[in-house]
Structure 1
Amino acid sequence: MPLLLSRLLNRLTRRITWGLPAELLLFVFVTSWPLMAWAEPGERIVDPGVYWYWFIVTAATVGYGDYAPTTTEGYLVTVYVVVGGIVTITALFARIAQMIDKAKGLRMHGHGTLKVANHIVILGYTVGRTERIIDELVADEPRDVVICAWDDQAMEHPLAHREGVHFVRGNLTEDAVLGRAVLSEAVAVLVDARDDDEALKVTVAASHNRPDVHTVVALHDLAHARTISRIAATACCVPWHSIEFITEEVQDAGMSDVYNELMHHSDRNTYSIRVPSTLAGRTFGEFQRALGFWNAATILAVRTGAKPDISPSWSDEVQVGTTLYYIAKRRLRTEDLERYVDRAERALMFSERELLRSEWH
């Protein structure tokens, strides 16, 4: 018996529509008014201007008591109205619960259309790897990320517990699926496919759907980057194995070009030099100013102990024997470093003297 009632309730719940509560309420109103007129003839409660008010208050189970029946038959009609109101309210909340469950199901299974903007779309899902990518993307500031997975990659939202992470599932080469991920409002797209052939197909679809968005394609073999450029000229191809490289390019467009220029194609190179005893007591800022102004060089890091210090504060004092790592067109000798620091100091002193002579000082 309980099983039968449960099945009946589930069947009725599935058939509930938004119109059913209104239909129930209208039916009870239409049938209860003549009954109340028969039970309470001549009473004010059955007047058209009063009965609708009494009906709503009673059906809502509020019951102010300003109007009430006086006969047994009137009490029975009141019970009928109260029961009808409870059934109507139950049907209404059942419909709301049904709608919430449906929306939750669509979200969990990646079939719903998202409402996001200025987000990052990741096309492709790999257990563990995608989680690491998202951790890197949201490390500096919270942002919405949409995971788009093939049907065989994830059946349900893999990160449903994380706020700001959304899920879409389907054929990633179809415009309808990319539309549910709101690619039109994304600030960046990462194509993180299982192989380079899949990456090519997904890039074609993404470029067709949104050709102007910043697109990053993770490739297992960068030799395929030329093929990608033929169908998405602005897409940036990066090595699949370097998650840090990928996330930096997604967040800061052109970062991979900077790295490539530093490592392969630039007319500058990276060098190192030790600070001599003749330049003791100088700060990092003094060395940076000297090399930048007189040699168009940039100091990237210093090393005093076991690990280098990347871009230290300009006010930090650089000890004798510290190694300076810099980018320049040529390698500097110790005497070059001494000469540039001396020039920078004399130029600064000259500027201070000019400042003292100025009228506004």
Structure 2
Amino acid sequence: MPIVLMRLVHRVTGRTWRVPALVLLAAFLGGWLLIAVFEEPGADIKKPHEYIWYFLVSGTTVGYGDLYPTTVGGRIGGAIVIVSGLTAGLVLFAELTLWMAKGRTMKANGQARLHRRRHIVMVGYERDALRAIIGQLRADPAYAKTPVVTIFWPGELAGENPDPGLYDVVAFDETAYERACLEQARTVVVVGRSDDETVRVMLGVSAYLRRSGGAGIHLLAGVRDGGRRAEITEALNLISTDIEPVDIDDPAVVAVAIRNPGVASIYHNLASTLDSDGTLYRVDVPEDAGEWTRIDVAIFLLRRGSTLLAVGESHGPNARFRLTSAPEEKIKGGQSLAVVAPDRPEIPWHEL
């Protein structure tokens, strides 16, 4: 029996905050008993709600003086309340402060359990690239306040998170996906230290999401070697056809892919100037060709199997090309066109 009792006491007092809490509880009950027994019948301090008020103001040494015991026994109870508040109360407050500081440290070091929903998770930490991607995202009002969580590999982040106002960090271990609330994310971007690692990690991410019931989450796989894109894409498709490859070297492209699921392949095809449908060509409009509306030129090219992508301001090698169309925009001689076509288009300008 004594052994069982000792084990029970050890379990109750096993945490440092429990001892001062028990002392305060004992002082509350002991003070109430003494005041209830020795104070005059009908005294306000004997009423339960009044005693609770007295316990709070006396235990915190505020002492408003609106309630106080008048008998020797009641004053002994009051002294117990005051002494316990000065000792156990201060210890409990100190433990609470340490607990809060520990929680902040754990969050800064990536050890804490986060509570996020509809956030963006970056698996793989490269500070400069991450800051650039977030900067691109914040320019969009719809993503101005979207939380970002990054899971970093061992050795990637030394010390505390250097940008706590931009993103949260989670250290990679067996609980990392759970602590990053991966199943509650809107987008997950995997950035391995190599393309092969990206495929392996994406396999683990996909398996975790199936186990945890995460559905409809936008998955992006960062591709570093553009020459292996077809190979990497095929490997990713074996994991899930919903995984979208994205060229990780351009933060603007990554940000666009996060905001607009499905367009990463378009950016890649434009960057490589090669698509399964055609090639990007530059066509100069002859100086004396005439003038047409942009919509008329676009329709003319569409009927011949080509797509007008952008309009350049001149024939110069550094001419600025504009993708968007201005109202009533005109195309005239001396400008250039960016056209996607199966072969270099030969435009019969006299037929326009």
Query: In which range does the TM-score fall when normalised by the shorter chain?
Result: 0.7 to 0.9
State the partner residue of 2:47: 49
Distance 1:296 1:216, change over 3 A: same
Distance 1:90 1:242, change over 3 A: same
Query: How many Å separate the matches in 1 of 2:346 and 2:39?
Result: 114
State the partner residue of 2:339: 326
Distance 1:55 1:232, change over 3 A: closer
Deviations 1:17-50 (A, max 9, x none): 2x44542223223444566689x66475497437
State the partner residue of 1:304: 313
Query: How many Å separate the matches in 1 of 2:123 and 2:287?
Result: 52
Q: Runs of 5+ in structure 1 lacking a partner?
A: 1-13, 341-361
Give 1:263's match in structure 2, choosing from 254, 271, 274: 274
Q: TM-score, normalised by structure 1?
A: 0.72
| Contact 1:59/1:86 (8 A) holds in 2 | yes
Distance 1:124 1:268, change over 3 A: closer
| Contact 2:109/2:161 (8 A) holds in 1 | no
Letter in 2 for 1:168: V
Letter in 2 for 1:256: A
State the partner residue of 1:167: 169
Q: TM-score, normalised by structure 2?
A: 0.73
1:234 and 2:232 matched: no
Deviations 1:274-313 (A, max 9, x none): 1654634x44345445545x54644322222532223231
Give the alignment of 1:60-71 within 5 angstroms.
60-70=60-70
1:149 and 2:159 matched: no
SS at match of 2:274: helix
Deviations 1:81-134 (A, max 9, x none): 334334454244323323312221221121222211222221112342333333
SS at match of 1:151: coil
Give aligned-pair identity as a percent.
Answer: 23
Distance 1:314 1:272, change over 3 A: farther
Give the total of aligned pairs.
Answer: 318
RMSD: 3.6
Query: How many Å separate the matches in 1 of 2:159 and 2:107?
Result: 9
Give 2:221's match in structure 1, choosing from 196, 217, 220: 217
State the partner residue of 2:4: none
| Contact 1:190/1:215 (8 A) holds in 2 | yes
Query: How many Å separate the matches in 2 of 1:77 and 1:288?
Result: 91
Distance 1:49 1:311, change over 3 A: closer
Between 185-194 and 300-309, the greater mean CA deviation after superposition: 300-309
Query: How many Å separate the matches in 2 of 1:68 and 1:58?
Result: 9
Query: How many Å separate the matches in 1 of 2:237 and 2:91?
Result: 57
SS at match of 1:52: helix
SS at match of 2:328: coil
| Contact 1:58/1:81 (8 A) holds in 2 | yes
Query: How many Å separate the matches in 2 of 1:90 and 1:77?
Result: 19
| Contact 2:119/2:187 (8 A) holds in 1 | yes
Query: How many Å separate the matches in 2 of 1:333 and 1:227?
Result: 39
Distance 1:153 1:43, change over 3 A: same
